[in-house]
Structure 1
Amino acid sequence: MSALPRPAHGPGSRYTARAATTRPRPARDGDVAALARRLTGRDLWLARMLHEHRVLTTHQIARLAYTSARSAQRRLRTLHEHAVLDSFRPLTASGSAPEHYTLGPVGAALLAAHAGLDPTALGWRPTTTGRIAYSPSLGHDLGVNELLTHLAARTHTASGSGLALWLSERSAARRWGDIIRPDAYAHWRDGDPLLPFFLEYDTGSQPPARVEAKLTGYAAFIAATGSRPALLLHTRTASRDQTLRRRLAAAARELDLQVATSSADFTTTDPWGPWWAPLEPTAHRTTLTGLAAHWPHLSPAAGLEPTDADTPLTLPVPPLPPDLGSGS
């Protein structure tokens, strides 16, 4: 792809498409059919994940799908060389950021072919990586994906724990956007207990009143569907967590919502742990599994069943790949 201009000011000034413009790209359109025969199930899963979740870092991909960072980097370089993936690297004040991967042109063509769709149906464009890299919501999107990749990867170290389902903001909007627009929807399972939850990832950019206003939508969703997932609100700081707890407590109680809060000040690497406090006056912080026990009457969100309007690319992507055992 051609070099992406970097604005002198604003969010886009912090990012560069260096990786996408300097690495060799030997693949051509005529190579797509031959390349498809060389891709693993994990490669195709990764292409679907990037179509679903837009951007994942090297660390997040390795966490989900590889046994070591080195094997992840080796395979990601190969997929990038063949344009299955595209990438960019944010500029930082010190040190270096990990590579940020997006869906590449060949990856988009492969997904479309597998789904029997025209490539334009995916919404992929040659400018997609640039739009993601320069988006003011990039930090928010990466924060959501960081939290949920840790939860999904928990399965690797604790059998029976992890995410059974993970829908992106876009997939959630497709299903429930006329009522609510959560940042993600997921099912946390730890043995038998199941915690279905909507996630609101709060970066502190919205006034508390606007966050409070979202609760009305979640109450309307429960009233309209009869289903009752929890609402998890994750903030960047403990002080923001306390501010929102004071602001939201009365509304959550009046609307009969099951809301719990946490923040990055508590943890960023084990979000399943005892960092979540139900929005109740005497509640103590507990684990996600503890929340499921605390709220035994939760139920998964309505509208998850496939419909005639679904295509293979609008159905949920498994949070983990099919062939993690492979080292390539």
Structure 2
Amino acid sequence: MPASAPNPGYVPRAAIRRRRPTPPARARTDLAHLATRLTARDLWLIELLHEHKVLTTHHIHALAFTSSRTTNRRLRELYHLSVVDSFRPLRTHGSAPEHYTLGRSGAELLAARAGVDLPATGWRKDHTARIAFSPTLEHTLGVNTLLTQLATTNGSLQLWLSERSATRLWGDWIHPDAYAHHTGASSQLLPFFLEYDTGSYNLARVEAKLPGYAALAATTGTRTPLLIHTSTTRRETALRQRLADTTDRLELPLATTNTQLFTPTAPAWLPLTTTTAPTTRLTLDQLATHWPDLSPAGTPETTLPAPGRHTTLPWRPTPPRPPTDTP
């Protein structure tokens, strides 16, 4: 039997071209126009991206928004305003979340608020590309993930400075990966420097950092712990064996943990001393009471300023107002 004639209006499915709506082209946005479009939370995000270089969608959602849908919608709007830029690294397994950096309009706004020219912010046309292809990208993301976890656990992280800001303040002595203030349920302050150890350095190089921390404490009259987060339990064990004598000799408060044990609220930190070291791991709250006479880090001239006036440093890693579901 001959095949029946097709419907005259029929179009084979394979011939249908699937069309996606084309997003509007990105362009530089006038700063006066931005003033009518940006919220206090947006301005905070601009400063946060300037301070910490790159944050994923997951980081930003956890820090400032109440739903992933709202997060993605607002970030897409900020992207089309050139306030933020983004990239997505290629992975051999699965897919990476979107990674956000500071865009040109965001950098121009930051410069205008600080009363400086754009180059003073450190932003360049290849800003996002330099971060995306940086050999230290995974290290930066590891630090930012750990501190984001602490910042979103009961709001316990009150201060978070990046490696760049810490180096600007204490670069004559140390180059930590971050500096932060933690306040837990006991309301006792735990200031700390963070070294995020991925295992790429040999143990001698890690040990060589300790005298700098001791020299800073002696120069400024402060006592601030050093927390070292390592990649594996095996690496942590080897590191503790290597650092034990130096830590005791320098009288440096130091504790370690590793990726396999760490969670924000669990007792994951083990102080390193040969005399008073506990046999079990402690939470950050317990570390604050384990070491007596702790004090925030300072500089030879002054201690760190308290949060207050506008600054290019996001002293508090939380938005300036409670997050809402609307921009």
One-letter amino acid matched to 1:118: D
> Following TM superposition, by how much is the alpha carbon of 1:27 offset from its aligned partner in structure 2, in angstroms?
3.7
Given that 1:52 and 1:168 are in contact with CA atoms closer than 8 Å, whether structure 2 keeps it comes out as: yes
Number of equivalences: 296
One-letter amino acid matched to 1:224: T
Equivalent residue number for residue 322 of structure 1: 320
Equivalent residue number for residue 224 of structure 1: 219
Match of 2:158 among 164, 170, 193: 164
* Structure holding more helix per residue: 1
One-letter amino acid matched to 1:320: T
One-letter amino acid matched to 2:322: L
One-letter amino acid matched to 1:28: R
SS, match of residue 154 in structure 1: coil
CA distance in 2, matches of 1:153, 1:242: 29
Using the aligned pairs only, state the percent identity: 57
Residues 252 and 116 (structure 1), Cα distance of their counterparts in 2 relative to 1, 3 Å cut: same
1:172-203 per-residue CA deviation (whole Å, 9 max, x = no partner) reads 01100011110000000014211000000001
Equivalent residue number for residue 4 of structure 1: none
Query: Residue 240 in 1 paired to residue 238 in 2?
Result: no
Residues 24 and 203 (structure 1), Cα distance of their counterparts in 2 relative to 1, 3 Å cut: farther
1:22-61 to structure 2, matched below 5 A, reads 24-29=24-29, 31-61=30-60
Equivalent residue number for residue 3 of structure 2: none
Residues 148 and 60 (structure 1), Cα distance of their counterparts in 2 relative to 1, 3 Å cut: same
> Following TM superposition, by how much is the alpha carbon of 1:122 offset from its aligned partner in structure 2, in angstroms?
0.3
Equivalent residue number for residue 269 of structure 2: 276
CA distance in 1, matches of 2:270, 2:184: 18
Equivalent residue number for residue 146 of structure 1: 145
> Following TM superposition, by how much is the alpha carbon of 1:23 offset from its aligned partner in structure 2, in angstroms?
6.1
CA distance in 2, matches of 1:314, 1:107: 12
SS, match of residue 75 in structure 2: helix
CA distance in 2, matches of 1:300, 1:99: 35
> Following TM superposition, by how much is the alpha carbon of 1:323 offset from its aligned partner in structure 2, in angstroms?
2.6
CA distance in 1, matches of 2:34, 2:69: 23
SS, match of residue 87 in structure 1: strand
Equivalent residue number for residue 285 of structure 2: 289
Given that 1:25 and 1:82 are in contact with CA atoms closer than 8 Å, whether structure 2 keeps it comes out as: no
Name which one, 1 or 2, has greater alpha-carbon Rg: 2
TM-score of the superposition, structure 1-length normalised?
0.86
> Following TM superposition, by how much is the alpha carbon of 1:306 offset from its aligned partner in structure 2, in angstroms?
4.6
CA distance in 2, matches of 1:57, 1:109: 22
TM-score of the superposition, structure 2-length normalised?
0.87
CA distance in 2, matches of 1:296, 1:190: 16
Equivalent residue number for residue 193 of structure 1: 188
CA distance in 1, matches of 2:88, 2:121: 24
One-letter amino acid matched to 1:32: L
CA distance in 2, matches of 1:62, 1:197: 25
Match of 1:183 among 177, 192, 195: 177
SS, match of residue 86 in structure 1: strand
> Following TM superposition, by how much is the alpha carbon of 1:315 offset from its aligned partner in structure 2, in angstroms?
3.9
Query: Residue 206 in 1 paired to residue 201 in 2?
Result: yes
One-letter amino acid matched to 1:78: E
Given that 2:269 and 2:281 are in contact with CA atoms closer than 8 Å, whether structure 1 keeps it comes out as: yes
Given that 2:64 and 2:323 are in contact with CA atoms closer than 8 Å, whether structure 1 keeps it comes out as: no
CA distance in 2, matches of 1:275, 1:23: 46
CA distance in 1, matches of 2:142, 2:37: 33
CA distance in 2, matches of 1:251, 1:88: 42
Residues 80 and 316 (structure 1), Cα distance of their counterparts in 2 relative to 1, 3 Å cut: closer
Structure 2 residue runs of 5 or longer lacking an equivalent are 1-21
CA distance in 1, matches of 2:265, 2:102: 29
> Following TM superposition, by how much is the alpha carbon of 1:245 offset from its aligned partner in structure 2, in angstroms?
0.6
Residues 23 and 169 (structure 1), Cα distance of their counterparts in 2 relative to 1, 3 Å cut: farther
Residues 218 and 85 (structure 1), Cα distance of their counterparts in 2 relative to 1, 3 Å cut: same
Q: Let me know the Cα RMSD of the aligned residues.
A: 1.8
Equivalent residue number for residue 115 of structure 2: 116
